[in-house]
Amino acid sequence: MKKVYSKINKDCLLLTLVRLTEITDKRTDLSPEEEYLQVATKKLTKGTSFRPHKHNKLNRNTDMTQESWICLSGKIRAKFYDLDDSLILNTVLNAGDCAVSFRAGHGFEVLEDDTILYEFKTGPYFGVEIDKTFLKEDQG
């Protein structure tokens, strides 16, 4: 698992990246408890179960959107940006890899046909005009 911190603010976690090959039979939290988006990994074996449950209605106040991507098949070039919009990580996500973006700017390019991606983000979504600021793309 790779945790990427800002070069601008050394205490600011920008993103977590986990490769499929790094997932073990022990639960690994990819998100610190205080983050809005909570993501974890665990390799499961036949017969594993957990008690049925539901989550209680709680007021949760968020002031940002956080995203996570899981590449199911294919390859994606992912670029992540620091707080000052400079490129901080340029990597390829392969099948089974997961990236969790807490504060990192981001963009990606699909490298193979029929690539399949799951995307999760905190909501609600208010549309491009309100929700997004586009960055100048770094060619690095």
- Which domains are seen in the chain, by residue range? 2-41+64-124 (2.60.120)
pLDDT at 140 over 60: no
pLDDT of residue 126: 81
pLDDT band at 132, cuts 50/70/90?
A: confident
What count of other Cβ atoms lies within 10 Å of the Cβ of residue 60?
Answer: 7
pLDDT at 139 over 60: no
Find residue 2's DSSP bridge partners: 17
pLDDT of residue 72: 98
pLDDT band at 137, cuts 50/70/90?
A: confident
Residue range 114-134: mean pLDDT, rounded: 89
Q: Could you say which DSSP state residue 128 is in?
A: H
pLDDT band at 104, cuts 50/70/90?
A: very high
> What rounded mean pLDDT belongs to the chain?
94
In this predicted model, what pLDDT tens digit does every residue of 44-57 receive, in sequence order? Answer: 999 999 999 999 99
CA atoms within 13 A of residue 99's CA, in its CB half-sphere? 27
* Cα–Cα distance, 29 to 38 (Å, whole number): 8
Under 8 Å between Cβ of 139 and 90: no
What count of other Cβ atoms lies within 10 Å of the Cβ of residue 76?
Answer: 20
